[in-house]
Amino acid sequence: MELNNEDDGRPTPRTVLGRRLRHLREAADLSQRGLADKVGYPHTYISRVERGEQLPSEALAEDLDTHFATAGLFAELLSLAQDASIPDYGRAVVLGEAKAARIQVFESSLIPGLLQTDDYAHALIRTSLPGESEEGVGERVAIRMRRKRVFDKEEPPFYWAIMDESALRRPVGGASCMLGQLRHVLAMARSPHLSIQVLPFLQGEHPLLAGSLTLLTLPNGTTTGYAESFATGESVESPRRVLQLTQRFDIARSMALPESASLDLVRRYLREYEDEEEDS
């Protein structure tokens, strides 16, 4: 997923944000170092944001809005820039999550995105993009964490996640990272809007091996699918194909452990990581 500063020479939300910041700073007769001192961030950070090399954090965007009294302008531009940085094949699911009344997810090897912690997501993204700068990794992590706001809505969507046992067994980020991640999964499972199941190794093959599937159901009952494999994804709207994907999800769900047994399995892996951390 590349983050481009320009699109065929046209301004993007990222470059507009940087230019707007520079204009307001210069209008206030402030140097980059002077603004940095006032908002409490490194001047090199301010410089990178102005040049469009890095997006501001949510905290910096809010602080800039407060300092310049811009009524949420920077927060809005940041949101637009984050959306624009998502590849086409992923944008449909991200935008769909915000509108969905029900989200059903299957992951064959990872903790589902909406259940990931910051550290877990950082470890994944850092490894999958070895040439990416730390700033770029941070931007991608921020985008993934922003998606979890769907759970903060007054009427959050019903969320049903099924993950293969390999997602628990694979120590992404090491034992310490997995401790935080599995504790987070157990905490999220306490929500009445969330159901979490694990498809155990003992079930052998199943119809969703080596991929991930998301089914998004809107309040009007319309369902769209999103199937993803390595670095590619496909949005599915054809009723016939959505039905096929739903059937696959239902088979995987029938093969998964009941929720209580699934959470017991998560706790078992949590204890193993705790023992590993104590021995290290």
Print pLDDT tens along the chain (280 aa). Answer: 333 444 456 788 889 999 999 999 999 999 999 999 999 999 999 999 999 888 998 899 999 999 999 999 999 998 888 877 776 656 777 788 889 999 999 998 999 999 999 999 999 999 988 888 888 888 889 888 989 999 999 999 999 999 999 999 999 999 999 999 999 999 999 999 999 999 999 998 888 887 889 999 999 999 999 888 766 678 888 899 999 999 999 999 999 999 999 999 999 999 999 998 887 7
Given 69, 84, 99, which residue is the final one in a domain?
Answer: 84
Q: What H or E segment, with its residue span, contains residue 225?
A: strand 223-229
Same domain, 159 and 67: no
Model pTM score: 0.79
CATH number of residue 64's parent domain = 1.10.260.40
Over the stretch 2-48, which tens digit does the pLDDT of each residue have?
A: 334 444 567 888 899 999 999 999 999 999 999 999 999 999 999 99
Report the candidate in 53, 3, 7, 10 with the shortest Cα–Cα distance to residue 21: 53
Same domain, 181 and 106: yes
Instruction: Please check whether residue 257 is in contact with residue 263, taking contact to mean a CB–CB distance below 8 angstroms.
Output: no
Report the candidate in 61, 73, 57 with the shortest Cα–Cα distance to residue 139: 57
The encoded tokens of residue 115 equal 């259940």
Same domain, 17 and 94: no
d(CA 279, CA 69): 52
- The letter for the amino acid at 74 is F
2 in a structural domain: no
Buried b (16+ CB within 10 A) or exposed e, 112-138: bbbbbbbbbbbbbbbeeeeebeeebbb
Same domain, 36 and 173: no
d(CA 24, CA 250): 54
Same domain, 63 and 105: no
Same domain, 151 and 266: yes
Domain count for the chain, please give it: 2
Same domain, 45 and 65: yes
What is the span of the domain harbouring residue 40? 13-84
Same domain, 79 and 158: no
Report the candidate in 15, 21, 133 with the shortest Cα–Cα distance to residue 84: 15
Q: What is the DSSP string of 57-80?
A: PHHHHHHHHHHHT-TTHHHHHHHH
d(CA 172, CA 180): 11
Same domain, 219 and 252: yes
124 in a structural domain: no
Same domain, 107 and 230: yes
Same domain, 266 and 151: yes
216 in a structural domain: yes
CATH number of residue 110's parent domain = 3.30.870.10
Burial class (CB in 10 A: 0-12, 13-18, 19+), 183: middle
Same domain, 179 and 52: no
270 in a structural domain: yes
Give percent helix, percent strand, percent coil of the chain, each to the nearest 5.
Answer: 55, 15, 30
d(CA 215, CA 211): 14
214 in a structural domain: yes
Neighbour order of strands in the sheet with 212-217: 194-199, 158-164, 102-107, 212-217, 223-229, 232-236
